Amino acid sequence: MTLPRTPSFRLDGRRALVTGASSGIGLGCAVALAEAGAHVTLAARGHAALNTLAEQIHAEGGLADTLTMDVADIAATEAAVAAHGPFDVLVNSAGLARHTPALDTTIADFDAVADVNLRGAYFLTRAVARGLIEAGKPGSLINISSQMAHVGGIERAVYCGTKHALEGFTKAMAIEWGRLGIRVNTICPTFIRTPLTEPTFANPERVKWIEDKIKVGRMGEVTDIMGAVVFLASDAAQMVTGTALLIDGGWTAG
């Protein structure tokens, strides 16, 4: 009998685009992909932090370059992806949160969050897919979503709305491009300690709410996301598309 072999988690020879790579989850994902052998293009609005990260990845033997990108600027994003792609892997970790009670939501805040979390994510994912289709290549497109794409949350109506929508277009795109070898998935973290979540962790009432919801008894860390992104990017996940990988410590199970 010939025993089956585990598909490789290695990403050698593949090019990955990681947006929101300058800090937090995006930074962790970029490091994880580089460790797995991918050549990572680090993208964000601020170039200085990207250069520092690229230098650190190089120092550890990885491959990385940088690209200044604001996903809310759709025309510029599409042009950048066309010029620098095709990318075998996309990790879209660019995100924005402006939390207020629903009655206090301003149109400006709604539009700002939707421009990044929904419009930006949609057209970025499409741009990377278009490059793969034109090159006749398979690929793995990963949007960083949230557990809040599956539940509601206090003062998070706009954020939840954009993340629920992201889940919807991810499923639709996965159906459209599956036979082309292009997989589209989301990663849905719980509250992860990052600069973006510092205001939440500074609020004792919010911390208690979070601790009551997370069943494993601790907050999430960036390292909790890193293995998941390598899995979805790799051949080990060839049968995984149109789905959400929840990394929520049991939040949504309850």
Q: What is the pLDDT along the chain (254 residues), one digit of tens a residue?
A: 999 999 999 999 999 999 999 999 999 999 999 999 999 999 999 888 999 999 999 999 999 999 999 999 999 999 999 999 999 999 999 999 898 999 999 999 999 999 999 999 999 999 999 999 999 999 999 999 999 999 998 899 999 999 999 999 999 999 999 999 999 999 999 999 888 788 888 888 888 888 889 999 888 999 999 999 999 999 999 999 999 999 999 999 98
Which phi and psi angles does 15 have, rounded to 5°?
-105, 130
pLDDT at 196: 76
- To the nearest 10 degrees (0 to 180), the angle between helices 24-35 and 223-233 is 50
pTM, two decimal places:
0.95
pLDDT at 174: 98
pLDDT at 116: 97
Distance CA 172, CA 170 (A): 6
pLDDT at 208: 87
In the CATH scheme, what architecture does the domain 15-246 have?
A: 3-Layer(aba) Sandwich (3.40)
Does residue 163 carry a catalytic annotation? yes
SS (H, E, C) the chain: CCCCCCCCCCCCCCEEEEECCCCHHHHHHHHHHHHCCCEEEEEECCHHHHHHHHHHHHHCCCEEEEEECCCCCHHHHHHHHHHHCCCCEEEECCCCCCCCCHHHCCHHHHHHHHHHHHHHHHHHHHHHHHHHHHHCCCEEEEEECCHHHCCCCCCCHHHHHHHHHHHHHHHHHHHHHHHHCEEEEEEEECCECCHHHHHHHCCHHHHHHHHHHCCCCCCECCHHHHHHHHHHHCHHHCCCCCCEEEECCCCCCC
pLDDT at 210: 87
- The catalytic residue among 122, 137, 163, 215 is 163
pLDDT at 214: 93
Does residue 159 carry a catalytic annotation? yes
* Integer angstrom CA distances of residue 64 from 21, 153, 203: 11, 37, 37
- The catalytic residue among 122, 137, 159, 215 is 159
